[in-house]
Amino acid sequence: KQEVTQIPAALSVPEGENLVLNCSFTDSAIYNLQWFRQDPGKGLTSLLLIQSSQREQTSGRLNASLDKSSGRSTLYIAASQPGDSATYLCAVRSQAGTALIFGKGTTLSVSS
């Protein structure tokens, strides 16, 4: 059964710092991996989607990498801002059309 783990559970950084969030999954046979942002009491905002054949995806200050063989993904946030404060969720889809399996998330706090 696929399990997704995110480390650290919480992270506090000063504004401007670059940071890395980690995600690992137990079954490397995934279809794709997706990173989301969740603000308190809100729904999910999709940040980046990486297909199993891809190594990384970039959007603005965000870069997500995927190493399927080792079962790992990282989300790199450059020049962090207070507005980046949120919980970041990593989720994997094992097969096309199946549901996403989520990690517990990393709660990020960026102080000004």
List interacting residues with another protein (CB under 8 A): 4, 32, 34, 36, 41-44, 46, 49, 51, 89, 91, 93, 96-105
Question: Minimum distance between the CB of residue 7 and another protein, rounded to whole angstroms?
Answer: 14
Cβ closest to another protein, residue 19 vs residue 44: 44
Answer whether 19's CB lies under 8 Å from 11's CB: yes
Question: Minimum distance between the CB of residue 15 and another protein, rounded to whole angstroms?
Answer: 25
Answer whether 23's CB lies under 8 Å from 73's CB: yes
Structure tokens given for 67: 């190493």
Question: Minimum distance between the CB of residue 64 and another protein, rounded to whole angstroms?
Answer: 13
Cβ closest to another protein, residue 76 vs residue 102: 102
CA dist 102 → 3, 21, 53, 54, 95 (Å): 8, 14, 20, 20, 14
CA–CA dist 55, 53 (Å, integer): 7
Cβ closest to another protein, residue 51 vs residue 109: 51
Question: Minimum distance between the CB of residue 72 and another protein, rounded to whole angstroms?
Answer: 18
